[in-house]
Amino acid sequence: MASSAETDTWCDKLWTKVNRKGPHVYVDFFEDFESDYGEQFKEWDQQLNNQDWKHKFLNLQNDAVKNKTVANMFDSQGNVHFQHREFHKAMEMYNQALCFAQFNSAQMGVLYAKRGFCFFNLNMYIECMADTELALGTDFPSAWMSKLDEYRSNCMQHMSKPISGTPNTPTLSFGTDTTFPCLANVISIRNDGLETSIVANTDIEIGKTILIEKAFTSIAVGYDTALCYGCQKMCKNLFPCEYCTDVMFCSNECMQLNGVHKISCGEAYNRMPSHIKLVVHSILEAITSFSTIGDLIMFVRATVAQKDIDMEENAKISNYGLFLGLKPSSKEPPIQLVYEAYTTLMSMSTIQSKFTTKTEQSFLMHLVGHHATVLLSNSYGGFEPNQNQFILATMTNVASLFQHSCTPNLMQHTIGNQTIFITNQPVKQGDHLYIDYCPEEHVTEQRKEMLRQTYDIFCTCAKCDPQEHPIPDPMLSNDPSFLYIIRYKKYIGSGTSALLKQKCINFLQQHREQPWSKEKEYVINAYSRCMLEDFGHGKY
């Protein structure tokens, strides 16, 4: 007899009740797949219950508890990098050491001071001063005080001079949309019942910011001591959580406002592979959006059933409703992933105390499945191979409504947990706006396979199948602006950037009607690099 896994998929049972007219107890799709995945489930259960999830950094693994000896080890490695004037690497090691040092101890104070000395040598005097203040807030040893005072005095002298090169803060180039404040009011979201499209209501020049959206959920794997856990900005003066070794924050405000960490501090999911961590984190974000679990359950049931609900919504709840309504993946997430995320959640004491009844637990099981189907096709990062490597994964809801093109008219950039869309070509009224789902550089076959496997897109555009399309006009390669860009692209970030950016704009405006070509893509990439430089991209 064929097993249920051979005839049905678990997604077929999503939000299906045990009894149609009975209480809201949903079917246990783990039980249905027990015959096929039972051994894998048992292996995971054993790993979850018995393995102490280590704090992993490079090739090192340490118990995830405060430990002076481990802090000393990272401190010593930081000193070696400092002596070789490898200041960024030294700071990376000092951050690791800070996570293991006892909170507000003399050891922590010295580590802040050493990180500040790195900033001083990088001519980052404001950051150096901030670290000296953090050092003084600890049980700072008197033996180091004279050296700290010396650096503070030198910083004050340098800070009296004008500071240049401050990165731009992105803002929308137009007014805000009344429904989606993250979106410019020159854009329309249209839905014909089959798919959603984004269309320009007016002409939009190149270089205009049309979306700035905070992520519904985002994680950093391997960047925990380089990015703030709350806003995920690359803040220089991070400080660690007082109780765990997993995260750092940029400010007390970011720490206090982060409800997820309040209920998951020290939990093993912080050190799990990104595909599990992203699903679990998204559930925690949903839970912390509501006052009670009852409110969460009522909201989700109504949203899934597409019914109105009498509940006072805030921006966070409305954003979550948009997330729940996003198109799920055409490729079913593995049942093993759903099981791992669900059991990880139920291993947390806080979650156990919130989901105590069979009804609540069956709801959570299906909510995890629903999140997984949405995240698989709408998030960036997190589901790639090499899950334990350095990964940033983010899920932004309105941004997910934009369709894909291999030759997009929007560039996308991430600053912390914000996604930003900027026009990289002139847009005419009525044009559809597109982003590239595979913005990283890949050879043609890799790109086509990624689009097929991840997004079920079978692309035959000029970029994916250039041999099937006409050869572009050779005048492009002889355009004076193009020749200038080729010659001076290597100087992005120097005094020529403004002129280089203008040359890119001139070329793209002049050749707007031209189809994709290697020359046009080269110019778009150069323009994008110039824009990222304006935002301080890549600067520590």
Q: Which of 204-213, 326-335, 394-403, 438-447 has the lowest mean pLDDT?
A: 438-447
Percent of the chain with pLDDT over 90: 57
pLDDT at 1 over 60: no
Mean pLDDT, residues 125-146 taken together? 94
Residue 482: closest CA among 511, 497, 498, 504 = 504
Measured CA to CA, the distance from residue 28 to residue 393 in angstroms comes to 29
pLDDT of residue 322: 93
Band (pLDDT 50/70/90 cuts) for residue 59 is confident
Retrieve residue 298's tokens: 């009522």
454-502 tens-digit pLDDT: 778 888 887 887 666 666 667 888 999 999 988 887 777 666 678 888 9
Retrieve residue 31's tokens: 């039980």
391-450 tens-digit pLDDT: 678 899 999 999 999 889 999 988 888 999 999 999 999 999 999 988 766 667 788 888
For the chain, the domains span 64-159, 216-395, 471-540
CA-to-CA separations, 252 to 154, 220, 239, 256, 262, in angstroms, rounded:
27, 20, 9, 6, 13
pLDDT at 151 over 60: yes
354-393 tens-digit pLDDT: 999 999 999 999 999 999 999 998 888 777 655 455 667 8
Average pLDDT, the chain: 88
pLDDT at 150 over 60: yes
pLDDT of residue 530: 85
pLDDT of residue 386: 54
Q: Which residue has the tokens 């609900």?
A: 309
CB 276, CB 340: distance < 8 Å: yes
pLDDT of residue 161: 67
Architecture of domain 64-159: Alpha Horseshoe (1.25)
Residue 218: closest CA among 297, 282, 270, 262 = 282
pLDDT of residue 448: 83
pLDDT at 66 over 90: yes
pLDDT of residue 41: 93
Highest mean pLDDT among 7-16, 33-42, 209-218: 209-218
**Which of 350-361 are b and which e, b meaning 16 or more Cβ less than 10 Å from the residue's Cβ?**
ebeebbeeeebb
pLDDT of residue 52: 76
Q: How far is CA 103 from the centre of its chain?
A: 28
pLDDT of residue 268: 92
Mean pLDDT, residues 335-351 taken together? 96
CB 469, CB 515: distance < 8 Å: yes
pLDDT of residue 516: 83
